[in-house]
Amino acid sequence: MKKILITGGAGFIGSALIAELQKHNNELFVIDNLSFGNRQFINMSDENFFNIDILDKQKVEKVISEISPNKIIHLAAIHFIPYCNQHPFESSNINIQGTLNILNAASKLTNLDSLLFASTAAVYPISDFGVKENDRVEPLDIYGLSKLTGEHLCNEFHLKTNIPVLICRFFNAFGPNETNPHLIPEIQNQINSRLRTIKLGNLTPKRDFIHTSDMATAMNLLLNKFDKGIDTFNLGRGIEYSVTDIVEAFERQLGEKINIEIEPSRVRKVERMHLLADISKLKSYINWEPKVSIDDGVKTLLK
Ligand X SMILES: NC(=O)c1ccc[n+]([C@@H]2O[C@H](COP(=O)([O-])OP(=O)(O)OC[C@H]3O[C@@H](n4cnc5c(N)ncnc54)[C@H](O)[C@@H]3O)[C@@H](O)[C@H]2O)c1
Is 93 an interacting residue with respect to ligand X (CB under 6 A)?
Answer: no
| One residue of 23, 24, 34, 197 binding ligand X per CB under 6 A | 34
Going by their DSSP bridges, the two strands 241-242 and 206-207 should be labelled as antiparallel
151-170 binders of ligand X (CB under 6 A): 170
211 - beta bridge partners? 174
User: Which listed range, 69-77, 192-200, 249-257, 280-288, lies at the site for ligand X (CB under 6 A)?
Assistant: 69-77
**3-class SS string, 221-276:** HHHHHCCCCEEEEEECCCCCEEHHHHHHHHHHHHCCCCEEEECHHHCCCCCCCCCC
By CB under 6 A, tell whether 250 contacts ligand X: no
Q: How many CB atoms lie within 10 A of CB 194?
A: 6
119 versus 253: smaller Cβ distance to ligand X: 119
User: Inter-axis angle of helices 12-21 and 212-225, to 10 degrees?
Assistant: 60
Among 3, 4, 6, 12, binds ligand X (CB under 6 A): 12
Q: How far is CA 74 from the centre of its chain?
A: 10
Span interacting with ligand X, options 133-141, 172-180, 185-193, 282-290, rule CB under 6 A: 172-180
Altogether, the residues listed in the chain come to a count of 303
| Residue 245 binds to ligand X (criterion: CB under 6 A) | no
Q: Toward ligand X, which CB reaches closer, 98 or 130?
A: 98
Tell me if 85 contacts ligand X by CB under 6 A: no
- Contacting residue, 5, 94, 103, 301, with ligand X by CB under 6 A: 94
CA 292 to chain centre: 17
- Note the residues at the interface with ligand X (CB under 6 A): 8, 10-14, 32-37, 53-55, 75-79, 94, 98, 118, 120, 170, 172-173, 179
